[in-house]
Amino acid sequence: MAVDPEELASFAEEVEEHLKVLEDEFLKIEKAPEQAEKNSINLLFRAAHTIKGCASFLDLRNITQVTHVMETLLDKVRNDQIVLTGPLVDGLLSGLDTLKMLTADLQNCDDEDISDVEAMLNELVTSSTQKEEKVETKSGLPTPITPPQAGPDANTVVGLNGQEIDLSSIPVSYQNVYFLTYGPGDWKSLGNTPEHVIQNLAQTGKVVDMVFHQETSQLWMVFVSAAGPEIIELIAQTDADKAVLFTTRKPRPVGEETPEPAAAPEKSSSPKLEVKVKTPSKSIEKREPKEEIRQKESIRINVELLDHLMRLAGELVLVRNQQLQAMGDADTALKHTVQRLNNVTSELQETIMRTRMQPVGVLFNKYPRIVRDLGKKLSKQIELEISGNEVELDKNILEKLADPLTHLIRNSCDHGIEPPHERLASGKEPVGKIMIHAFHEGGQIHMEIRDNGRGLNHKKIKAKALERGLKTEAELERMSDHEVNQLILLPGFSTADSVSTVSGRGVGMDVVKENISSLGGVLDFDSRFGEGTTIRIRLPLTLAILPSLIVGVGELKYAIPQVNVEELICLYDDQVRSKIESAGGQEVFRLRDKLLPLVRLNEVFNNSTPFGTRESAKICDKYRKIQTDIQKETEKRKQEDPTYQHAQSVMFASLKVGAHRFGLIVDRIIGTEEIVVKPVHNALKGLKCFSGATVMGDGSVALILDVQGIAKHANVSFETIHAGHQEVKRDLHMDEKQNLLLFRAGKSEQFAIPLAVIKRVETIENQQIERVGDKEYYTVDGVSTLVLRLEHLLKVSPTVENENMFLLLPNHIKRPFGILLSEIIDIEETIVHLNSKSHVEDGIVGTSLIRKKMTILPDIYRLIEIAEPSWFADKNEEKETKRPLRILLVEDSLFFRQLVSGYFEASGYEVITAVDGKEGFEVFEKENVDLIVSDIQMPHMDGVEFIRKVRNESHNKRIPAIALTSLKSDRDKDRAMRAGFNYYEIKLEREQLLQTVKECSRHIHV
């Protein structure tokens, strides 16, 4: 039979939806077959039944045969004859894959050989029957037909074989619901065919359910129409007993009995059918009429039409931009009109963009099947968790993201998740987990693919990089864990011992990164050996219209996508010479204690070939010489005119390239603009520094910069910068600056206390200090606060009595007390060169030379213990009953090392110190310690690397460890805890720290 192509297209769309339902439900039921609901089984049966009926009508034999056997199996499941699990699901999914293959080319689907799949499904039918006799109807049908019935409300009927049919989307004028039957002998007497009968009926109503038995030419239909029974008999060319009006969609009055329609009389050519109609519920008056429910209407639109609409919106944005620039000093009325045009254009643009948006669930929903199949193939137990299905992304990006994302999922299954026996041996659950999460943040879409598998082996990666000559031992030694991870993104890099047919972590990862970069996205990941891998992808919402930073070099303009821009920096006059430095043969800028490599955009355009180390060094020397010449000229001019000042400035944007940053120096920063992305001319396609072009509001053409391409062209060595950054960190930590409050109590001594220790300083009246016995109190915020004088606690001069005094209230103290001061000198930011031997006294951390005067740094918390020993009596009693706890304190700052050591020693603990993680591990291996307390940010080896080394390589992997840091964010805490710390405490919160140490000591046998 020749089939209309439009009918085939409509059938393909409908089948795609049903196949999706089948796959989702199969996977859901397979996980928990005992919890499978009857509705889910009926949904599966109905989907297969519908595909079979439509395919049979269109004479698509292969699809009809496959769905016929699948329907038979599902009917057995529905009747509790078999359970939908194991090999049965495998077989049904194979049938599903065959249906997908057949529907991909409906014109030629009957030419495909499906004998293997059909035989496999038939074998499942035969084996599932076992001792049961094969059920057959008198008409020889493989499954008996159950007559339709009225549903629980006016817009629902129970269709053939018991499936419920929702009629709410069908016009309410189609009130009459008919059951039509045709036997084998009817077609000759009618001189007609089933398809012609259905086409005739479609002119006056809608077929909502149908079964056609090809072998016996029997046809059953549920049909809705506005026409009465007499007209239907004429159109259907059948008798009244074969066109039964079994219900109407009119809401019935409450309490009225539903008349039972006449049943179809028994015929020898068809099975005996009994029509039963359910009586409406008595609570029907409480229901809202279905007609009042507003249905969301939708239509299908050709994608090419949407793309054209998007292009027109882009052109409108250009016109808007040109209008805004041309407006100038126009009159107020015109300005209002242009502003209105601007608002409408922006709203139109956003609306049209939404038509291209699709939920990422469209992509994510195919991964449960992939993970399930790979788990079976690899003999692994893998669970997949998906969240963020509702997040929307441009359809074009979503389609191009499918391959790289699938590659990453397959990698996680094959090389990430371990086999059950390996997971059990390493103390993990036998079931591995892969989590896919999507969320919207900062105008971008973020995706995370996380597994709790074996992670990346840094030793193997380094060995492979060394073996292939990609890195030297010195370079590998300097590389951070994150940079070692990035090595697997090099072309062809793999640590796999054998080639896998499924995937290869590293093999193809460079292609994945390139594909994501081509979408304007960024790929980054983090991995910990033995714990798992987290891959992060950041993508723009759309590629059609791009918010950009417009910059200028020479006479030309360039656009930088705003998703790559972190911040803008401008240096003036002497800052240009003093702030731009050199590291590893390239220019750098210290941005908040981090080295930011600098690239001059004009030099990129002046060199057609990528920079080498030599070229980078030449550029660095060139601009250093320019600044030297400027300085000489300035000094010369100042001798003639002392007021002379050479004016200069350098502007650059801090740009993101994955986890790295670099600064791009430009001549001028023009502003921001929404641009319409156009492809570059063929002559420029080979240039990796450009990703596209755009027409600006003034009609000029601007090239869109590819940030990653520029970094590659300029040969930005992030590894060299990282090594330099580590040196900066080391210098900063070894000579750490402190913000100190300088003050006096007596007239002779100068004191200093870190601001982090101070809650606040109150100005008080001396005469309002109250005395009770030998103690002094002052009321602060309605609370009596104990006042301490330093001369009562330390060997210092008496406090100078003034009319107005100062009360220093410490931070992190649960009991109210303050230290009395006579004078606040200043707040000083300085490097504390602590001397712990020049003035040794209980309650003093040490001294330091500040403002050319010896300054005492008191330990406030120890002073409290000296003043009120009863507050700590319980602690002192406990320490007498046990030998001292031995604590390894790892802290690079001498000031904090001395301060915290004092806390512990005053509490009766024995303290061993180390200046960084590297020394800390050496001490830990030699000394017998009970507890580790470590800073996080340290040179040579930070606290995170240190505790990982302890957990993985030491003789005592289970020793309790406390992270002691000034980093307060949840992210930092999570990072530390995942690395292996048991507790996370903030520096200077003395009482909390000691309480945590006390808690640890209870679980340590000392």
Q: What are 347's two structure tokens?
A: 């709203």
For range 513-525, the mean pLDDT:
82
pLDDT-derived band at 812, boundaries 50, 70, 90: low
Q: What is the pLDDT of residues 956-970, one digit of tens each?
A: 888 999 999 877 777
Chain centroid, CA 813 distance in Å: 39
| Cα 684 from Cα 687, distance rounded (Å) | 5
pLDDT at 360 over 50: yes
pLDDT-derived band at 729, boundaries 50, 70, 90: very low
Q: What is the pLDDT of residues 23-37, one digit of tens each?
A: 888 777 777 666 666
Q: Give which of 508, 539, 507 is closest to 523, Cα–Cα.
A: 539
Q: What is the pLDDT of residues 862-881, one digit of tens each?
A: 888 788 777 655 444 444 44
In this prediction, residue 798 carries a pLDDT of 93
Among the residues of 237-302, which ranges form H helices? none
Domains and CATH numbers, the chain: 5-129 (1.20.120.160), 140-250 (no CATH), 304-355 (1.10.287), 359-540 (3.30.565.10), 545-632+647-728 (2.30.30.40), 735-867 (2.40.50.180), 875-1001 (3.40.50.2300)
Percentage of the residues of the chain whose pLDDT score is greater than 90: 14
pLDDT-derived band at 133, boundaries 50, 70, 90: very low
pLDDT at 1006 over 90: no
In this prediction, residue 735 carries a pLDDT of 46
In this prediction, residue 386 carries a pLDDT of 92
pLDDT-derived band at 855, boundaries 50, 70, 90: very high
For range 193-199, the mean pLDDT:
76
pLDDT at 767 over 60: yes
pLDDT at 887 over 90: yes
Side chain identity at 1006, as an amino acid letter? V
In degrees, rounded to 5, the angle at the alpha carbon of residue 964 between the alpha carbons of residues 894 and 820 is 65
Q: Are 184 and 217 in contact (CB under 8 A)?
A: yes
pLDDT-derived band at 188, boundaries 50, 70, 90: low
State the virtual CA torsion across 110, 116, 121, 126 in degrees, nearest 10: 120
Q: What is the pLDDT of residues 299-357, one digit of tens each?
A: 667 777 877 887 787 777 777 777 777 766 666 677 777 778 877 877 887 787 777 78
pLDDT at 297 over 80: no
What average pLDDT does the chain have?
78
In this prediction, residue 411 carries a pLDDT of 86
Percentage of the residues of the chain whose pLDDT score is greater than 70: 83
Q: Are 886 and 912 in contact (CB under 8 A)?
A: yes
In this prediction, residue 687 carries a pLDDT of 79
Q: What is the pLDDT of residues 377-419, one digit of tens each?
A: 888 999 999 998 888 888 888 888 888 898 899 888 988 899 9
In this prediction, residue 26 carries a pLDDT of 78
Query: Which position has the higher pLDDT, 621 or 57?
Result: 621
Q: What is the pLDDT of residues 580-613, one digit of tens each?
A: 887 767 888 888 767 789 999 999 988 888 888 7
For range 33-48, the mean pLDDT:
73
pLDDT at 465 over 50: yes
pLDDT at 954 over 70: yes
CA 833, 836, 838, 839 dihedral sign is positive
For range 183-207, the mean pLDDT:
75
Q: Give which of 274, 284, 500 is closest to 377, Cα–Cα.
A: 500
In this prediction, residue 448 carries a pLDDT of 92
In this prediction, residue 544 carries a pLDDT of 67
pLDDT-derived band at 906, boundaries 50, 70, 90: confident
Q: Are 935 and 913 in contact (CB under 8 A)?
A: no
Contacts of 685 (CB under 8 A, 6+ apart): none
Among the residues of 573-665, which ranges form H helices? 574-579, 601-606, 613-640
In this prediction, residue 880 carries a pLDDT of 46
pLDDT-derived band at 789, boundaries 50, 70, 90: very high
Strands in 164-166's sheet, in edge-to-edge order, are 149-150, 156-158, 164-166
Least confident of 3-12, 30-39, 557-566: 30-39
| Residue 119: strand, helix, or coil | helix
Least confident of 25-39, 213-227, 277-291: 277-291
State the virtual CA torsion across 714, 719, 724, 726 in degrees, nearest 10: 150
In this prediction, residue 432 carries a pLDDT of 93
Side chain identity at 612, as an amino acid letter? G
Helix axes of 990-1001 and 894-906: crossing angle, nearest 10 degrees: 60
In degrees and rounded to multiples of 5, residue 307 shows phi and psi of -60, -40
Contacts of 22 (CB under 8 A, 6+ apart): 44, 47, 48, 92, 96
In this prediction, residue 563 carries a pLDDT of 81
Rg (CA), the chain: 39
Q: Which residues of 723-735 are buried (b: 16+ CB within 10 A; e: fewer)?
A: bbbbebbeebbee
**Length of the chain, in residues:** 1006
Query: Which position has the higher pLDDT, 662 or 954?
Result: 662
Q: What are 851's two structure tokens?
A: 């403002």
Q: Are 394 and 436 in contact (CB under 8 A)?
A: no
pLDDT-derived band at 974, boundaries 50, 70, 90: confident
In this prediction, residue 417 carries a pLDDT of 92
Q: Give which of 56, 4, 57 is closest to 201, Cα–Cα.
A: 57
